[in-house]
Structure 1
Amino acid sequence: MLSLKEVTFSGCDALESYNCPNSVESLEIRDCDSLTSLTFSSVQEHPSPLTESIINDCTNIKSDKPIPMSRLTSLRIRFCKNLKSFAHEYLQHLTSLEDMWIYECPSMDYSFPCGVWPANLTELWIGHLNKPMSEWGQQNFPTSLVELILYGENSGVVSFEVANDVRNITATPSSSFLLPPSLVSLELHDFVDVESFSEVLQHLPCLKNLEIRSCPKITDLSTTYDPSNLTIDIWE
């Protein structure tokens, strides 16, 4: 008997709920405005083979139930404006998760982010959630994290620092966001109150690519970096 391995819904306006079978390895749901509920078949006896889950532009989905994530390597949730809850308490158990996108979800549970991340996470896209970035506190990003994309709309962040010294963490103001020193690639979007970034670069020894979009006050990068070691792109 054939088992369903890959499921994709796109633009299904009549789809209101979906129960994902335990055989599915890849699940993608896009532009399904009527979807309000997503559940998963029981996995008590047989662990789920699910490795990829994408939920994109599902306006009315309100709750992301705990999903079978023991083998999950990619989790992407974005542009779900009414999504209120996210099972973030399970993140520390996602030892296989490598990339995670969760942004443009302005109704998200205010307790997320809570500073706990998957131990082997390498790529993270995050921002424009219910909880302003200036109130996130120390995030304890894993040393495996090398690519970070931050969306700063309504974040309250006015500066960046690097979390390379415990002594610096306690002295950091709440309006300053702490970056992990392990980064190789960094993108900043819509941080309209940040005025400087050149000093931060000195504490990101592994950084090779920096992209800045719609951060109009950052103007101190033109002569502060070695172009042989770092590529900088600035978009207004």
Structure 2
Amino acid sequence: MSLPSPDTKSEVNVLQLLPNVITIGAICAGLTAIRFGYQGDFETSVRLILLACVLDGIDGRLARMMNSDSAVGAELDSLADFLNFGVAPALILHHWALKDTTGFGWIAVLGYTICCVLRLARFNVSSRLEKLSPDPAGSSDHFVGVPSPAGAVLVMLPMFVSFLFPDLAPLPPVAIALYIGIIGLLMISRLPTYSFKNVSIARNYAKYLMLAAVLMAAALFTYLWATLVLFSVVYVLSLLRAFQLDRRAKK
């Protein structure tokens, strides 16, 4: 992503600003999610966080496709990630289930948010080091720790379950606070988590992948909460598998 700066040419193509516009749109989605959360409309607030996740996946790739990425755009993207995945979900969860706690709920929120900002800082430093001394074998197929967008989705899993089963008895606030803390620790852990950036498939199977993508999108539009619960469970199972493989590799 790019923004005009004094040391560049005085004019910029309007289309090159599109990735930044998308990033700012994601920031607006995160801020509006907090607003709806504090108004008690939790389903809308969660949908807006999910929209921010989608926009986060679009802006960087679009910037690279348009060859318009820059240091300013990268910083803007990182700040958006902190708001949308570190601050907004934690505040919404606090108002949803922890606002009546004596203080441990807020401690869990603070812990999760700090873990998210540390995760983003580590990722930014690693990205800069990779640019200075790129790996001849290419970028890694794994992240270190749970990425912040995935952490935001995982931390809202109790909300997905409550929306899917509205008659289900709510979890105790202590359990939710502990769960928030665990997700925060997973973000700053050294656990290798799967990255799909470099995944490739045979050309013959591309049509099946596109069909699967369409079916997943249809499932999200039709059975949003059930699909998100399923995705979250599958992702947790992938984390357990990654942990198992990591332990085997270290032996």
Tell me the TM-score normalised to structure 1 length. Answer: 0.24
**Which structure's residues are more often helix, by fraction?**
2
**Which structure's residues are more often strand, by fraction?**
1
